[in-house]
Amino acid sequence: MRSDNTWKYQILEYQKAGSLLKDNPNSKVLAYVAVTLEDSIRLDDIRIINGSKGTFLGFPTRVRKNGLRKNIAYPISREARAAITYAVMAKYKEEDIAKESVS
């Protein structure tokens, strides 16, 4: 961690879920993204999910043999979660607006 306790969040990849989930138009997943922290740690397969209480990020999980899901990587502080969510959602909205202006 940096000595001033700040992190920068940079969106590396951004894939619209429409092209990834064409076979399932009822999916709540809007997009998949990858985030890089401090040019050192990369988080793949973060999902932007349209839930019943609004849009939120779903961090990577894996399914165990017993069928239960286990978190792989996730922010452990509210501040980190808020910063990642803000960066991802800003990029998502920016690309959504750009797509609408082209159409």
Beta strands in the chain (DSSP E): 9-16, 29-37, 41-51, 54-58, 61-63, 69-71
What is the tens place of the pLDDT at every residue in 23-52? 566 788 888 888 888 778 888 889 889 899
The DSSP symbol for 26 reads: T
Domain membership of residue 50 as a residue range: 9-96
Number of domain units in the chain: 1
58 domain residue, yes or no: yes
* 3-state DSSP percent of the chain in helix, strand and coil, to 5: 30, 40, 35
pLDDT per position as a tens digit, 54-96:
999 999 999 999 999 999 999 998 988 888 888 888 888 887 7
**Does this model's pTM top 0.75?**
no
Instruction: For residue 55, give the CATH number of its domain.
Output: 3.30.1120.40
In-domain check, residue 2? no
